[in-house]
Amino acid sequence: MSFDSKSASYLDSIDVVEVQRGPEPGGLGGAYRAFGETLRGLKTTMARLVEGPMTIEYPEEKTPVYPRFRGRHKLHKFEDTGLEKCVGCSLCAAACPADCIRVVAAENVPGDRVSAGERYAAVYEINLSRCIFCGYCEIACPFDAITMGHDYEMADYDRRDLIFTKEMLLAEPAERTPLRSEGE
Amino acid sequence: MLPLADTNFAEATWIMVAKSVVIFAVIFGILPLLTVLERKLIGRFQHRYGPNRVGPYGLMQPLADVGKLISKESFKPENAVSTLFVLGPLLPVLAGVLSLAIIPWGDVQNGVGFYGIDVPIGILYFFAVGSIAFYGLLLGGWSSGSKYSLLGAMRSAAQLISYEVSMGLALLGVIMMSGSLSLVSIVHSQGELWYILPQFVGFLIFMLAGFAETNRTPFDMPEADAELVQGFMTEYGGMRFGSFLLVEYMEILVVSGIAAAMFLGGWMGPGPSFLDPIWMLAKMLALVFIFIWVRATLPRLRYDQLMSLGWKVLLPLATLNVLVTAVLVVVT
């Protein structure tokens, strides 16, 4: 880049912000400033000591989750009739980006109804080791049969134990997760 | 002028033995607690709790740590020099224990001095014995047969030599004011005024040099976990490594003890005389708190900054302090 008159005038025309430089290091002034800054640092750490710890001691204390937190899935039944809401349409399985839902539908027999619709889910499995908790299944479901719960403590020792069957998803989960109250 | 330590004061042998046992037991009881204290305080300084899982308030943590260290294999690198490698961690422990002897915990009561021994050369003994610890670091680092250890040992040597001078000069002011080298006499001469007030510069220099002597942040160049992987300790494992750590805390206690005796009036404090050791311990712990506080605050200095601080700032300042004190002592 050449520094002819043209480029100089260009530099003059724009707003040049001067670089902010700290004071020169070293010397008596530098020593004085270093001492002052050291004391300021000590003050800062002491203030942290006075404030006290902010740790949430996890297994004993838990952060409350928000109402729309997407945790482990739940399957629902009608409260009055006790019939399953799921009709085995497999829309959740189709919507699932992780392909972790398996639904096998079967016809309802008149004397022994399982669900409210014509068909019901004979097999309903969610492989939680694949699930990405996106909540698309919940959105896809036309009957609100599947929703995302609040449970997030699902660690296990075996991959096979992470495949949740219909019975496990229908069962009322042990409420281990505190819920955030209004306005919290 | 106060006299030197009373050389005619003698105690029965069994009292001496009992005293050394008590001092040894108390200090080695305090040391593990000190490690917990440090970790908990550093945690609090960082909005954390620190160790709180083992035992009540995490007090059993050092027991677990020592158990782990002892159960480890005490291996030795192939090209290490065996005898020196083993001697490395032992010398600093020896030096630390020896320096504990002169820390005064109280006056002579009922014919028993509340200190290990009142050496007439007091503070010189501290420097002489303290220097033995450096041999431990140097030999340990050198005999490990590793470049990190050697670099760490070289750094230790350079650092300890440059700060030892300032440390000595910082204490010289106090020695001139009290006219005695014996720590017990120095504490006695602080009846009206603690030396921290007239010798504040000396106190600052002593503490700064103390950080460097004990290899504590911001002067932990010899260890420098980040760059030198613990410096001279790189090749050590198991309880040998553990004893280096133990020595670090012992040295902190010793430096705090010397500072408390020289500048903070030692065992002096309100209350009956049997509280004297408590007062001394309280003052020492206050100084230990400063050690930890500084560690939680300051980052490690660069090597050239360390050297220039030692030789260009602390040494002239300490010399000036000695000169001014000398003039004032002669005039008044």
How far, in whole angstroms, is CA B84 from its chain's centroid?
Answer: 24
Nearest CA in chain B to A48: B45
Q: How many CB atoms lie within 10 A of CB A100?
A: 19
Residues of A in contact with B313 (CB under 8 A): 31
Q: Is the peptide bond before B270 cis (omega within 30 degrees of 0)?
A: no
Contacts for B245 with CB less than 8 Å, ≥ 6 apart: B35
The angle subtended at Cα A177 by Cα A175 and Cα A179, nearest 5°, is: 105
Residues of A in contact with B49 (CB under 8 A): 53, 55, 57
CB contact under 8 A, B45 and A49: yes
Q: Phi and psi at residue A135, in whole multiples of 5°? A: 85, 10
3-class SS at B80?
A: coil
User: B230 and B152 in contact (C-beta within 8 Å)?
Assistant: yes
Nearest CA in chain A to B290: A42
Say what the pLDDT of residue B229 is: 67
**Going edge to edge, which strands form the sheet with A101-107?**
A101-107, A119-127, A163-164
CA distance A49 to chain B (A): 5
| Residue B276 in this model has a pLDDT that exceeds 70 | yes
CB contact under 8 A, B48 and A49: no
Say what the pLDDT of residue B1 is: 43
Band (pLDDT 50/70/90 cuts) for residue B6 is low
At B133, list the tokens: 């610890």
In which residue are the tokens 């000591």 written?
A49
User: B141 and B232 in contact (C-beta within 8 Å)?
Assistant: yes
Nearest CA-CA partner of B112 in B35, B190, B221, B9: B9
Contacts for A57 with CB less than 8 Å, ≥ 6 apart: B49
At A182, list the tokens: 């209004």
Largest CA distance in chain B: 63
In tens, the pLDDT along B184-229 reads 888 888 877 888 878 888 898 999 888 888 878 788 776 666 666 6
| Residue A136 in this model has a pLDDT that exceeds 90 | yes
A26 lies within 8 A of chain B by CB: no
Band (pLDDT 50/70/90 cuts) for residue B24 is confident
How far apart are alpha carbons B313 and B254 in whole angstroms?
25
CB contact under 8 A, A46 and B293: yes
Nearest to B293 among A45, A53, A55 (CB): A45
Query: Of A2-16, B56-70, B222-236, where does mean pLDDT reach its minimum?
Result: A2-16
Q: Look up residue A48 and give its amino acid.
A: R
In tens, the pLDDT along B293-304 reads 998 888 888 878
CB contact under 8 A, B44 and A42: no
Residues of B in contact with A31 (CB under 8 A): 313
Q: Find the radius of gyration of the CA atoms of chain B.
A: 20
Q: How many CB atoms lie within 10 A of CB B268?
A: 17
Nearest to A41 among B46, B48, B297 (CB): B297
How far apart are alpha carbons A64 and A177 in whole angstroms?
7
In tens, the pLDDT along B103-156 reads 888 777 776 777 777 777 888 888 888 888 888 888 888 888 888 788 878 887
How far apart are alpha carbons A183 and B135 in whole angstroms?
64
User: B264 and B196 in contact (C-beta within 8 Å)?
Assistant: yes
Say what the pLDDT of residue A103 is: 92
Say what the pLDDT of residue A1 is: 46
Complex ipTM, two decimals? 0.75
How far apart are alpha carbons B141 and B232 in whole angstroms?
4
How far apart are alpha carbons B243 and B90 in whole angstroms?
8
User: B167 and B210 in contact (C-beta within 8 Å)?
Assistant: yes
CA distance A55 to chain B (A): 6
How far apart are alpha carbons A113 and A105 in whole angstroms?
13
Say what the pLDDT of residue A100 is: 92
Residue B323 burial by CB count (10 A; 0-12/13-18/19+): exposed, middle or buried? exposed
User: B200 and B267 in contact (C-beta within 8 Å)?
Assistant: no
> Residue B85 is inside which H or E element, if any?
helix B82-100
Nearest to B45 among A38, A48, A54 (CB): A48
CA distance B235 to chain A (A): 34
Say what the pLDDT of residue A133 is: 92
How far apart are alpha carbons B193 and B202 in whole angstroms?
15
User: B326 and B176 in contact (C-beta within 8 Å)?
Assistant: yes
Nearest CA-CA partner of A87 in A62, A105, A67, A60: A105
Contact residues, A window 68-107, toward B, CB-based 8 Å cutoff = none
CB contact under 8 A, A53 and B296: no
Nearest CA in chain B to A49: B45
CB contact under 8 A, B45 and A41: no
3-class SS at A107?
A: strand
For testing contact with chain B, the best of A28, A49, A56, A58 (most B CBs within 10 A): A49
